[in-house]
Structure 1
Amino acid sequence: MFEMTAIITFVGSCIYLVVYFGNTLVHHTHYFSDEDEDDESAQEFTTNTVRCEYEYHRASSLKREGDEAVIRAVVSGETPSYSLESELGDCKRAAVIRRMAVERIAGKSLDGLPVDGFDYESILGRCCEMAVGYVQIPVGIAGPMLLDGKEFLVPMATTEGCLLASTNRGCKAIYASGGATGVLLKDGMTRAPVVRFGTARRAADLKFFVEEPRNFETLASVFNKSSRFARLQSIRCAIAGKNLYIRFTCSTGDAMGMNMVSKGVQNVLEYLRADFPDMDLIGISGNYCSDKKPAAVNWIEGRGKSVVCEAIIKEEVVKTVLKTNVASLVELNMLKNLTGSAMAGALGGFNAHASNIVSAVYLATGQDPAQNVESSHCITMMEAVNDGNDLHVSVTMPSIEVGTVGGGTQLASQSACLNLLGVKGANKESAGSNARQLAMVVAAAVLAGELSLMSAIAAGQLVKSHMKYNRSNKDN
């Protein structure tokens, strides 16, 4: 009996070691979290490995301990906080115990931060580590937005009063005037590694090689092997001394695509080592991409989806819905969004509040909120048309970075919002069309938001409306 027990223990330990080191290997070699549509098999392997370790530890001795004993183990450092899910085999219990340990260590309460009512297993190995609860952000609906002949109800998650009401008014004005029209100008995610050579001459040699049109087909073939959906579109380089920044641009299907392009880039760099063995890869991202930072390269070249959206607002609608007039809007747009932004040295900020709408839609639909930085690059234009009676308004947004699969889009609430828009998941008939449609909706919502806020400012209503909708009685 003793020998049998020893054998079972030994086999169990071996299984754990294989799972643990296999999981570690996955996290070190596949260091881009699999959020992409074409990465489903890799993501499934990574997630299943995490879950395998999680399931194995259901028999962990710590699991049989009471909550107080586990809390003391975490507080003392005996049990790492990050290992609670695998040690306890219960994601909800892990979050609750971690939360209590945090409160004990900090000497402060997390009362008010909800912990119940959330599926913690849904984020295991995917979205958030060391969970202690979740933040509630109210979601409202603006619309219907009439865009290219289709009606969309736009979900927006925000804590700013007036934002939904204002965007909704803009949607109403656009609808009453016949709707908005959107055009996708470009669709390509970027990644730009930085490599170093012994001399600037060698860095230039690689620049000339990868930018030579005759070499593109070969490099594209190597790049495209990394994915069913990634298709290399272009490669552009910039040199700083003996350092070379290589900006790859590729289509990414319905995924936002950061991971997809990163894997393709890695494949190309490995291929180039045959002819450039002296190439030293400093970083897979050298900030020439550029991600989550304001950058002129995105403003000029675009990143993700580049969209322009326009509408002609009838004079009567400007008067009755927007409570102002065409001439005032045109003048305000020139002096505020164009001249004022230029005076401030704005980079991609030639608008009234595009980031407000982008952030709210991103939070509601599971996008990466940090990409609001470049996704909110926008220039708003207004012009009197039809003998000066009507208003032509447009927003041009070169860097809308969205996806309908992977990352936060998989969570129940965000998935529901994508479903409301009719763009949930991957489009099986036309790869990438769901993500492109989402980008168009974002631009149309920005158009509505710009139109309404500018009208409120032109009519002198801004302070009054915010005092009405953006302040509770407790603040007065």
Structure 2
Amino acid sequence: MTSRIPGFYKLSPEQRLDKILANLELSEEDKTMVRGQNGFTIQDADRMIENVVGYLPVPIGIAVNFKVDGEDVFVPMATEEPSVVAAASNAAKMTYHTGGFTTSYTGSIMRGQVQITNLKAPYEALARIYEHKEEIIQLCNEQDPTLVSFGGGAKDLDVQMIQGDDEKMVVMHLLIDTKDAMGANAVNTMAEAVSPLIETITGGKVVLRILSNLADRRIVRARATFEDPFQGDEAAIANFMRATELANLDPYRAATHNKGIMNGISAVVLATGNDTRAVEAGAHAYASISGRYKSLTQWELGENNSIIGMIEVPLAVGLIGGATQAHPVAKWSTKILQVKTAERLARIIASVGLAQNFAGIKALASEGIQRGHMKLHARNMAAMAGASSGQIDKIVELATKKGTFRFDDIKAIVQSLN
């Protein structure tokens, strides 16, 4: 299998899907399902959330050219934003012949927080919790013997003292290996089950008992070398590096910089049925962990005008539970990715985030972000202006020649063709 398909964007949706399915040897059933002919139904929706009245389809595109840890991979991305999939694919192409993306993974530990208040002697309570560590861990693991049988479960404690407005409170962190699950249900069940024991041990009152989405023990790092992206243009290279420097110094720039990263990450998280809000919250919290909000990526100059990038990001994603198994398109996406573990999925997602960030900065350092984005957005504007599906490519071509992508200009082109 190869993820390098030159001219993939020029193919029709049917031809693109045929190419992907031919590479992966998937079935006709997979084809009809992802095209919506036999896929997600209102009954599926009603089983997933409450008060269902319908559902909102989101386009799924395939990012090509990705090689992650030596293996080619097609990446499904669910997003409504033009240029995201194209940008990721183009960035990945620049790494393909330099080895693609190389990743590392710290493990699948999640934190469950148990907040203890009304303590007469908070430091004594902290010490008592550590003294009962084995008992606490055993009670946690009794809640999920299946997870424990796969090598997961509660592994350790991290007890912290927090100064509140009126009192010192103790917050016990359960460190739980959730393996191939995102882990929210397992962590929350354990935190709730152990709370009465914690009250007995400390003499205090447990208030909150819930997981933390700051998954700082579930970190993925990915690096890649982007091969001479500016064809030796030293001014553009300097602009690229200046832009990355600003993202580490200025939170106003860092917010947009990291949003660009999450354009890629959240698209894959959504396509695989994982929790986009949990991943977004964890990533932005991690960007602030130093006390100042900063970039999730770092960039350096390499040899022969190459640029080397590295991303470090917490990724609490899974393949077990929730929509990852309940949603047929999410299951299809994991088939396309050919992932068998949550670890492999996280490594791919981090690589997409790095590619997306590179593409955004590259555009800013050269022609600007808007021209390429608006050219792709012109398809949406043409449809809004009343163009038929057969006219859209011609309208985009004419708007590109004219060099303007305002809605009134697009509308005038549509009217001239009708």
- Distance, in Å, in 2 between the alignment partners of 1:465 and 1:390 is 23
The alpha carbon displacement at 1:181 in A equals 0.4
Q: Which residue of 1 aligns with 2:357?
A: 450
Match for residue 167 of structure 1? 88
Instruction: Find the aligned partners of 2:257 and 2:375 in 1 and give their Cα distance.
Output: 28
Is contact 2:39-2:328 (8 Å) kept? no
Maintained 8 Å contact 2:42/2:55: no
Secondary structure at the counterpart of residue 73 of structure 2: strand
* Alignment equivalent of 1:182, drawn from 98, 103, 128: 103
From 32, 41, 45, the equivalent of 1:119 is 41
Report the Cα distance in structure 2 between the residues aligned to 1:444 and 1:160, rounded to whole angstroms: 19
Say whether the 8 Å CA contact 1:185–1:306 is kept in structure 2: yes
In structure 1, how many angstroms separate the alpha carbons of the residues matched to 2:318 and 2:116? 29
How far the C-alpha of 1:152 sits from its partner, in A, is 1.3
Within 5 Å, which residues of 2 pair with 1:58-97? none
Deviations 1:39-91 (Å, cap 9, x if unpaired)? xxxxxxxxxxxxxxxxxxxxxxxxxxxxxxxxxxxxxxxxxxxxxxxxxxxxx
Match of 2:225 among 287, 303, 312: 312
Structure 2 residue 274 is matched with structure 1 residue 364:
no
CA shift for structure 1 position 132: 0.9
| Offset, 1:385 | 2.5
The 1:251–1:321 alpha-carbon spacing in structure 2 relative to 1, beyond 3 Å, is: farther
Question: CA offset at residue 322 of structure 1?
Answer: 11
Corresponding residue number in structure 2 for 1:281: 206
Report if the CA contact (8 A) 1:365-1:415 is conserved.
yes
Instruction: Within 5 Å, give how 1:372-391 maps onto structure 2.
Output: 372-377=279-284, 379-386=296-303, 389-391=305-307
1:403 to 310, 318, 324: 318
Residues 176, 319 of structure 1: alpha-carbon distance in 2 compared, 3 angstrom cutoff: farther
The question of whether the paired residues in 2 share the 8 Å contact of 1:139 and 1:155 is answered with yes
Contact kept? 2:128, 2:201, Cα under 8 Å: no
Q: Please state how far the C-alpha of 1:345 moved relative to its aligned partner.
A: 9.2
Q: Rate the CA distance shift 1:256–1:322 in 2: closer, same or farther, 3 A.
A: farther
Aligned to 2:32: none
> 1:382·1:391 contact (CA, 8 Å) conserved in 2?
yes
Q: Which runs of 4+ in 1 moved over 4 A?
A: 320-325
Q: Aligned residue for 2:371? A: 464
Contact kept, 8 Å, 1:322 with 1:456, in 2: the verdict is: no
State the secondary structure of the residue aligned to 2:250: helix
Q: Does 1:340 align with 2:250?
A: yes
Distance 1:364 1:321 in 2: 37
Contact 2:98 2:225 in 1 (8 A): yes
Q: SS at 2:106's partner residue?
A: strand
* Residue-by-residue CA offset, 1:271-323 (whole Å, 9 max, x unaligned): 334434x33222323xxx543xxxxxx3xxx44620111012232xx135999
Superposition CA RMSD, Å: 2.9
| Structure-1 separation of matches of 2:232 and 2:74 | 19
> Counterpart of 1:370 in 2: which secondary structure?
helix
CA apart distance, 1:186: 4.1
Q: Cα–Cα, structure 1 residues 174 and 117, in superposed 2: closer, same or farther, change >3 Å?
A: closer
Q: Deviations over 1:1-32 (max 9, x none)?
A: xxxxxxxxxxxxxxxxxxxxxxxxxxxxxxxx
Question: What is residue 220 of structure 1 aligned with on the other side?
Answer: 137
Larger radius of gyration: 1
1:413 — aligned with what? 329
Q: Deviations over 1:195-245 (max 9, x none)?
A: 22253x1x33222222x3x54333222222222322323323233315332
> Identity of paired residues, percent?
23
The verdict on how the C-alpha distance between 1:468 and 1:235 changes in structure 2, with shifts beyond 3 A counting, is same
**Bigger mean CA deviation after superposition, 374-383 or 159-168:** 374-383
Residue 169 of structure 2 corresponds to 243
1:394 equivalent in alignment to 2:319: no
Hey, what's the Cα distance between the residues in 2 that align with 1:119 and 1:366?
A: 15
Answer yes or no: is 1:234 the counterpart of 2:160. Answer: no
Residue pair 1:305, 1:439 contacting (<8 A) in 2 also: no
Residue of structure 2 equivalent to 1:77: none
Question: What's the CA shift for 1:422?
Answer: 1.6
Q: Provide the rounded CA distance (Å) in 2 between the counterparts of 1:322 and 1:273.
A: 64
Partner of residue 338 from structure 2, selected from 422, 430, 439: 422
Determine if contact 1:352/1:453 at 8 Å carries over to the other structure: no
In the TM superposition, 1:131-150 aligns within 5 A as: 131-150=52-71
Cα pair 1:304 1:400 within 8 Å, conserved? no
Are the equivalent residues in 1 in contact too, given 2:113–2:209 (CA < 8 A)?
yes
Partner of 1:61: none
Q: Which runs of 5+ in 2 are unaligned?
A: 1-35, 148-152, 285-294, 386-406, 411-418
| Conserved? CA contact 2:299–2:309, under 8 Å | yes
Alignment TM-score, normalising by the size of structure 1 = 0.63
